Amino acid sequence: MEREKKIGLVIATTGLAQFMAALDNLVVTTALPTIRQHLHAGLSSLEWTVNAYTLAFATLLIAGAALGDKFGRKKIFQVGIVIFTAASASAALSTSITTLIASRSLQGVGGALMVPLSLTLLSDGVPRQRRNFALGIWGALGGLAIAIGPLVGGAIVQIANWQWIFWLNVPTGIALTVLTTFAFKTNSKLPKRLDLVGLSLVTVGLFGLVNGIINGSSKGWTNQSVIASFVVALVSLIAFVVAEMRLREPMVPLNIFRSTNFTIINTVSLLMSFGLFGSVFFLSQYFQLIQGLSPVASGIRILPWTAMPIVVTPFLGRLVTRFGGERLVQIGLSLQGVGLGWIALVIGVRSSYPTLVGAFVVAGVGTALFFVPTASITLESAGPKMEAIASGVNNSLREVGGALGIATLGAVFSSFGGFRSPAAFIDGLRPAITVGAILLASAALITVKLRRQHSVNQDTNLTTATSDDLMMI
């Protein structure tokens, strides 16, 4: 019984950290109009209120994983929680948009230290036969954050004030810090030298890449600062690859990409984020700008999509047993592509909600089937010693894919339509979502090459363990 409580504590701690970081990436968007009025911010400043978090988070994910391996995963995980909590308090106390943007950047730093290590600590603290169930809870909490992010933001702004979006993180962060002390007794680390050269190069490279993507959509892709940012990214990332090939103890051993499954799962993760999040970005605006709904009402209408991970997770153990995690990823990507294609066909200025809800459910089930098996495949294909770095690489590519998707589908949207009228919005929305659907269908085709990593017996045991764990939780 004591062991069951310990496993539950590990799942709760890592899942709550994932939930807090994912929620904060979304919840602020619904508060932007209020923040603009209160802090007298311009459009560019409001964009950076969102982008500062994304930029810091995506840039430092691999660095956070490497620091955890060197100094101890529990220690760096706790440091990330403390930074995130302190930055949240600073954001809530901000009296200028500059202070708020700086605080959001620090939140991104804290999130980058938490998220990849939460997955690794979960893997370390849960027996192998129960890993898929634990990953299911971890993924479901991330899905819950996505589902309720717009709702929470909208409700807080309507009931209280925008500062409470950040104040809510403070007691959660304090509780997480305490839980971490009891959940993880050992400060697991690897006896390796810190690769400062690789750490610096990959951080600069990712910063240049994400910064170029973010600014390219607003300043234009031929802007000199955008081009310079991409050049810095290209040179830094090439130098990173060359340096890693020469080091005896590299931060990211490039032979990890010899694993077919690891290479494929990271490629489709990037494509999935590119197609899915770029599409969701515009669909969330559709309900508010075209149908005139409030942020809360818009969030409720998207729930059949975003809440599906919570519904599907209890069945994942049996689904993995029957189809294999690799096939679930393929099915999930296919369903997401079908859902987006369906939306592109039926959406219009006066579309009724019933014509869209079926597509939301299909895409939502696909999203649920993708995330948990992806985490499992990433960990299995990398091996125990590389789990933190593998998680950091996968999360980084997903963040880059999301930013690239919003920017690229934004360009498609602007080429065919725009915000000047409801009809123009739909003219731009349809081709943008169609491109997203094509990318997801392409990702599904790539997953044909994934190789199954578990035997049926192992997966059968997993299903049994899942039933026991459901009773425990």
| 338 and 466 fall within a common domain | yes
Q: What is the pLDDT of residue 181?
A: 86
- For 202, the domain range is 195-250
The answer for residues whose C-beta is within 8 angstroms of residue 256's C-beta and 6 or more apart is: 262, 382, 386, 389, 390, 393
Shared domain for 129 and 208, answered yes or no, is no
Question: 427: domain CATH number?
Answer: 1.20.1250.20
What's the CA angle centered on 468, arms 462 and 470, to 5 degrees? 100
Residues 443 and 430 in one domain: yes
Q: Are 353 and 394 in contact (CB under 8 A)?
A: no
- Domain final position from 250, 265, 288: 250
Please return the burial class of 177, using the count of CB atoms within 10 Å of its CB with bins 0-12, 13-18 and 19+: middle
Segments of the chain scoring below 50 in pLDDT = 454-473
Say whether both 173 and 225 belong to one domain. Answer: no
Q: Do 387 and 261 fall within a single domain?
A: yes
For residues 22 and 5, what is the distance between their CA atoms, to the nearest angstrom?
25
Give CA–CA dist 440/223, Å, rounded: 30
CB 243 within 8 A of CB 432: no
- Same domain flag for 67 and 81: yes
If asked whether residues 218 and 266 sit together in one domain, one would say no
Q: Identify the DSSP state of 249.
A: S
What does each C-alpha distance from 381 to 8, 265, 385, 417 come to in angstroms? Answer: 25, 9, 11, 43
The dihedral through the CA atoms of 320, 326, 329, 331 has a sign that is: negative
10 Å CB burial of residue 218 (0-12, 13-18, 19+) is middle
Q: Quick one: 284 and 352 in the same domain?
A: yes
Q: Are 221 and 329 in the same domain?
A: no
Question: Do residues 377 and 450 lie in contact, with contact meaning Cβ atoms separated by under 8 Å?
Answer: yes
Q: Which residue has the tokens 């002390």?
A: 181
Distance (Å, whole) CA 383 – CA 30 = 40
Q: Can you list the positions of beta strands (E) in 31-155?
A: none
Picking from 188, 204, 230, the residue at the C-terminal end of a domain is 188
| Tally of CB atoms within 10 A around 105 | 17
- Check whether residue 211 and residue 342 sit in a common domain: no
242 and 307: one domain? Answer: no
Residues 17 and 151 in one domain: yes
The last residue of a domain, from among 250, 275, 294: 250
pLDDT attached to residue 369: 86
Percent of the chain as helix, strand, coil, to the nearest 5: 85, 0, 15
Domains in the chain: how many in total?
Answer: 3
